[in-house]
């Protein structure tokens, strides 16, 4: 919950409670049985399907869609969960438009892909609603593994290890588990407390203990863990937030978008979340889009995203950019912030010259009584003795770090894109390698 008093120009949600509730319904309504069958019928069930290759968790997409088409969505869910135990969340937040759906043969032929993400949600929701866990725990091995971080990578790793019969203890800094899924994703993408429901369902495998409000550092060190556990997995994410270094960045009406989104996610009805009348969001990634869209949904009259590079360089997908503009968000490209002052942000126009970004002499101002910064996240401190490059823990292809017996995955580790589905894949693959090492 927000702890700072609202500054002039920033007020609790500016719309009636009923309108706010309506604004934060599911981005995509769940499919009913008929809609799922119609959607599944469009699949060509390709051999060597490009969609499966494009999925970071390599789900057998044609198989699960065929299972939906034949009226066995629970079997489809088991196919999904075998590769991605967080398939329910990924169905909601994965940028399918730039992964599996982008390479769908229907997209290539007709410009309209099979709605793989929504079919995945349909199947996984059906099985989770039944309450049964689809996997059984193997016989106890006597081995113990510490997992640091209860985000997507840590949860995927913990579940896989527990399924193999190892004892797992998850240490997490938050009061709730889930990491990014609980605190960092737009509220309209994961409604109804789904993150916690999925977490509780995942823990149904057994063999996993969770300790909250435990941070890697002075009270929880790798050296201490080494004496207790047979292996350690780090899924600590990127808890640090990059800050602006321009004049006025320390003003009370300037906030990091990550913290603002976290407050919103933890609010029971969102009526206590401060939003400006005129909001400027600085950044070009998914966090920036989530902050901008939700500012509009809370009643901000004008919301502008400002990104220092051009549209093609923007980290947020074309779908996300279109979503933002459809909600009334204005996006300005090639604009770098230079100064924040009362009720305005000063920008300078930029351009790309010889592959580098340069500032021009053209400046302009945007009216703003609230500024949300979404310019990237960083590793919070450097875990002891680990090799870190470019702000991430260096790992090999299966997550092994520079310290024997310590693995890492997800956003904190070098490797793939900073996506939920990629974090799941890295946690799963690290667990398989940990299991192999403990079984040798």
- Determine the Cα–Cα distance for residues 64 and 72; give it in Å rounded to an integer: 9
Torsion of CA 340, 187, 123, 417, to 10 degrees: 20
Residue 138 within a domain: no
Count: domains in the chain: 3
| 2 pLDDT more than 60 | no
pLDDT digits 0-9 by tens, 211-222: 999 988 878 899
- pLDDT for 424 equals 98
Same domain, 245 and 234: no
List of E strands, 257-298: 274-276, 278-282
- pLDDT for 438 equals 98
**383, two tokens:** 């875990």
CATH code at position 347: 3.50.50.60
Same domain, 210 and 252: no
Name which residue leads in pLDDT, 100 or 379. Answer: 100
Q: Which helix (H) or strand (E) holds 161?
A: helix 152-163
Residue 202 within a domain: yes
Residue 7 within a domain: no
Provide mean pLDDT across the span 165-176: 97
Residue 330 within a domain: yes
- pLDDT for 13 equals 85
- pLDDT for 385 equals 86
Q: Which helix (H) or strand (E) holds 434?
A: helix 420-439
Share of the chain above pLDDT 90, in %: 89
| 123 pLDDT more than 70 | yes
* Per-residue DSSP letter, 77: H
From 99, 130, 161, give the residue that closes a domain: 130
Tell me the sheet residues that pair with 280. 304, 371
CB 88 within 8 A of CB 178: no
CB 143 within 8 A of CB 416: no
From 321, 354, 376, give the residue that closes a domain: 376
CB 122 within 8 A of CB 68: yes
- Determine the Cα–Cα distance for residues 328 and 239; give it in Å rounded to an integer: 30
Q: Domain containing 71: what range?
A: 33-130
Provide mean pLDDT across the span 302-310: 97
Phi and psi angles of residue 354, each rounded to the nearest 5 degrees, phi first: 55, 40
Closest CA to 146 of 261, 56, 238, 227: 227
Same domain, 124 and 196: no
CA 55 to mean position of chain CA atoms: 16
Tokens 């409670």 correspond to 17
pLDDT digits 0-9 by tens, 131-170: 889 999 999 999 999 999 999 999 999 999 999 999 999 9
pTM: 0.95
CA dihedral sign of residues 69, 73, 75, 77:
positive
Same domain, 342 and 269: yes
pLDDT digits 0-9 by tens, 39-84: 999 999 999 999 999 999 999 999 999 999 999 999 999 999 999 9
pLDDT digits 0-9 by tens, 182-208: 999 999 999 999 999 999 999 999 999
CATH code at position 108: 1.10.1060.10
pLDDT digits 0-9 by tens, 260-292: 999 999 999 999 999 999 999 999 999 999 999
CB 233 within 8 A of CB 148: yes
| 4 pLDDT more than 70 | no
| 3 pLDDT more than 80 | no
pLDDT digits 0-9 by tens, 324-372: 999 999 999 999 999 999 999 999 999 999 889 999 999 999 999 999 9
- pLDDT for 382 equals 67
pLDDT digits 0-9 by tens, 241-257: 999 999 999 999 999 99
| 383 pLDDT more than 90 | no
302: left (phi over 0), alpha (psi -120 to 50) or beta: beta
- pLDDT for 380 equals 81
Same domain, 372 and 246: yes
Residue 253 within a domain: yes
Closest CA to 189 of 236, 259, 239, 121: 121
Closest CA to 233 of 176, 177, 151: 151
List of E strands, 253-355: 254-256, 274-276, 278-282, 302-306, 329-332, 335-341, 344-353
């Amino acid at each position: 919950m927000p702890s700072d008093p609202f500054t002039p120009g920033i007020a609790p949600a500016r719309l009636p409670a009923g309108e706010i509730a309506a604004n934060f319904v599911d981005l995509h309504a769940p499919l009913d049985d008929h809609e799922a069958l119609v959607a599944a019928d469009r699949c060509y069930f390709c051999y060597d399907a490009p969609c499966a290759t494009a999925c970071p968790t390599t789900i057998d997409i044609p198989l699960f869609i065929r299972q939906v088409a034949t009226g066995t969505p629970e079997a489809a869910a088991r196919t999904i969960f075998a590769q991605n135990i967080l398939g329910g969340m990924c169905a909601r937040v994965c940028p399918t438009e730039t992964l599996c759906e982008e390479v769908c043969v229907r997209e290539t032929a007709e410009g309209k892909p099979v709605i793989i993400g929504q079919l995945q949600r349909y199947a996984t929701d059906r099985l989770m609603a039944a309450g049964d866990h689809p996997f059984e725990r193997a016989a106890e091995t006597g081995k113990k593994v510490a997992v640091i971080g209860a985000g997507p990578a840590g949860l995927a790793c913990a579940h896989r290890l527990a399924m193999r019969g190892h004892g797992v203890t998850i240490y997490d800094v938050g009061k709730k588990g889930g990491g990014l899924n609980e605190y960092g994703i737009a509220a309209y993408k994961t409604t109804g407390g789904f993150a916690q429901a999925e977490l509780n369902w995942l823990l149904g495998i057994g063999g996993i203990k969770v300790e909250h409000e435990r941070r890697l550092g002075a009270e929880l060190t790798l050296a201490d863990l080494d004496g207790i556990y047979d292996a350690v997995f780090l899924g600590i994410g990127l808890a640090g937030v990059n800050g602006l270094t321009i004049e006025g960045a320390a003003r009370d009406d300037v906030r990091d978008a990550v913290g603002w989104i976290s407050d919103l996610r933890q609010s029971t009805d969102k009526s206590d979340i401060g939003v400006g009348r005129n909001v400027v969001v600085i950044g070009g990634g998914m966090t920036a889009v989530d902050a901008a869209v939700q500012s509009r949904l809370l009643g901000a009259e004008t919301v502008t995203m400002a990104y220092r590079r051009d549209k093609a360089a923007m980290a947020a997908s074309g779908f996300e950019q279109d979503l933002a503009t459809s909600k009334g968000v204005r996006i300005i490209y090639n604009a770098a912030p230079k100064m924040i002052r009362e009720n305005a942000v000063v920008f300078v126009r930029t351009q790309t010259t010889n592959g580098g970004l340069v500032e021009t002499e053209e400046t302009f101002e945007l009216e703003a009584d609230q500024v949300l910064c979404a310019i990237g996240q960083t590793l919070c401190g450097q875990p002891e003795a680990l090799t870190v490059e470019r702000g991430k823990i260096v790992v090999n292809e299966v997550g092994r770090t520079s310290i024997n017996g310590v693995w890492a995955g997800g956003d904190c580790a070098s490797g793939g894109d900073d996506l939920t589905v990629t974090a799941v894949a890295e946690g799963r693959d690290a667990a398989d390698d940990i299991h192999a090492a403990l079984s040798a």
